[in-house]
A = this chain, B = another copy of it.
Amino acid sequence: MEFLLANEVLYIQGGSITPGDEPGLIQRLVRRGAKVDPLDFVGQSKRTLRVEAADLDLGPELTREYPHLTLLTADGDPILASRRADGDHRVFVGKSELNDKALTIIAGPCAVEDSKILREITSGVQASGATVLRGGAFKPRTSPYAFQGTKLDGLRLMHEVAQEFDLPTVSEVVDPRDVEAVSDLTDMLQIGARNAQNFSLLSEVGKSGQPVLLKRGFGCTIDEWLGAAEYILAEGNDQVVLCERGIRTFEPATRFTVDVSAIPILKQRTHLPVVVDPSHGTGAKNLVTSVALGAVAAGADGLLLDVHTRPDEALCDGFQALSFTELAELSTRAQAVYEAARVAHISTSNVMQSAGAV
């Protein structure tokens, strides 16, 4: 799907379309050569105008002149996330790179602890084929009395260890006031599920220009997730990776339900790399490998994995952390699955284009 080509259909949606706006809006759209069709969707509380736009620049112009309108493409995608820039779409994390040409493994401890353990983990992770080190220093926890992470001390330690091993790092930032400090100590900023719609934080990491790993909120739709990405992209920062980590459902057998369909949907709607976190998504170590392989086969560009030297001793979420042996094996298998499935995706997307998807 290409965004806003001539004659592209776009939707202007909102309770935000006031009767005051509408006639003027419709007139100017029509004057611009657009075909406008007001719709009342069944059970839809918002007014929506269906617009067959006559030229490429209509969208931005409308955003400028009607700042309170939401512009959506015919597929209901926000603007930047869905634009397919010419050439390829790559996100650079230090010397590593996330793209749709190779599988990237991001692994590390859920929480950064003491330096001995971290060195062991980093060495094991690197040996197992991971090219980015993840580690939690600022830990958002449901209870204020739960372990809150080692914060900046943990980040300094991770920075030091990562340099020894020459591995780029990703770590979570939870407060707009910390973005600069965290940016100095990590190569990629992670936005966690609980901050998935913390728009102040999203704009701040957008301004930072740092690459961002944006987790999906466990209560957020794909559209809301793309809206969150748009807050970063709208600041001129195009280095965004989307991370599916499970949504909340009625099924109690897993902590969350990994939404595997979200992977092909995102690969079709946006140019941003997509990774999956089966560790938090399942919350159970014995499900991680299967769900990880499933995600890769479904089109994920990478995996985010909890790993620990002694899972049972982890300061948090040890029960879902893989051992080095398990990580090494998973990397090998995931690579094999990636290659086996890849051809399928290429040809599928062809089929898709001809078939005119969704």
A residues with a Cβ closer than 8 A to B are: 11, 14-16, 18-20, 39, 41-43, 45-46, 63, 67-72, 74-76, 78-79, 140-147, 174-177, 194-195, 197-201, 203, 217-224, 227, 230-231, 234, 247-255, 257-265, 267-268, 281-287, 289-291, 293-299, 312-320, 323, 325-326, 329-330, 333, 336-337, 339-341, 343-345, 347-348, 351-352, 355, 357-358
Q: A250's contact among B247, B263, B268, B343, by CB below 8 Å, is which?
A: B247
Given contacts A43-B252, A313-B18, contact A63 B176 (CB under 8 A): no
- Tell me how far the C-beta of A259 lies from the nearest C-beta in chain B, rounded to whole angstroms: 6
Interface centre among A70, A194, A198, A294 (most CB of B within 10 A): A294
Given contacts A261-B257, A355-B286, contact A177 B176 (CB under 8 A): yes
- A-B contact list, 27 entries, CB within 8 Å: A15-B316, A41-B41, A42-B75, A42-B76, A45-B255, A68-B315, A70-B142, A70-B145, A78-B145, A79-B145, A142-B197, A174-B199, A177-B200, A194-B199, A219-B220, A221-B253, A254-B265, A261-B282, A264-B287, A286-B358, A291-B298, A294-B299, A326-B348, A329-B348, A329-B351, A333-B340, A337-B344
Asked if B143 contacts A70 (CB within 8 A), the reply is yes
Q: Give the residues in chain B near A345, CB-CB below 8 Å.
A: 289-290
Q: A358's contact among B45, B199, B352, by CB below 8 Å, is which?
A: B45
* A188 CA / B59 CA spacing, docked (Å): 38
Q: A294's contact among B254, B255, B297, by CB below 8 Å, is which?
A: B297
* A142 CA / B234 CA spacing, docked (Å): 13
Given contacts A219-B248, A261-B257, A265-B253, contact A333 B344 (CB under 8 A): yes
Q: A42-B76, A247-B251, A249-B257 are in contact. List 9 more A-B contacts (CB 8 A).
A: A45-B320, A68-B146, A143-B230, A144-B199, A144-B231, A145-B234, A263-B294, A290-B297, A293-B297
Given contacts A219-B220, A261-B258, A297-B293, contact A319 B227 (CB under 8 A): no
Q: Give the residues in chain B near A351, CB-CB below 8 Å.
A: 286, 289, 325-326, 329
* A325 CA / B344 CA spacing, docked (Å): 12
Nearest B residue (CB) for A293: B297
* A291 CA / B259 CA spacing, docked (Å): 10
Nearest B residue (CB) for A197: B194
Given contacts A145-B70, A358-B45, contact A251 B260 (CB under 8 A): no
